[in-house]
Amino acid sequence: WRDWSSEVCSSDLEDIGRFASEGMRWREQGLTPREAMARLQQLQPEGSVEFKNMRTVLMLIWGGYGDAWTVESAGDTMRKDCEAGR
Long-range contacts of 23-26 (CB under 8 A, 24+ apart): 23/54, 23/57, 23/58, 23/61, 23/74, 24/61, 24/66, 24/69, 24/70, 24/71, 24/74, 24/75, 25/71, 26/61
The percentage of residues in the chain with a pLDDT greater than 70, rounded to a whole number, is 78
Check: pTM over 0.95? Answer yes or no: no
List pLDDT tens digits, range 25-67.
Answer: 999 999 999 999 999 888 765 666 678 888 889 999 999 899 9
Mean pLDDT (the chain) is 82
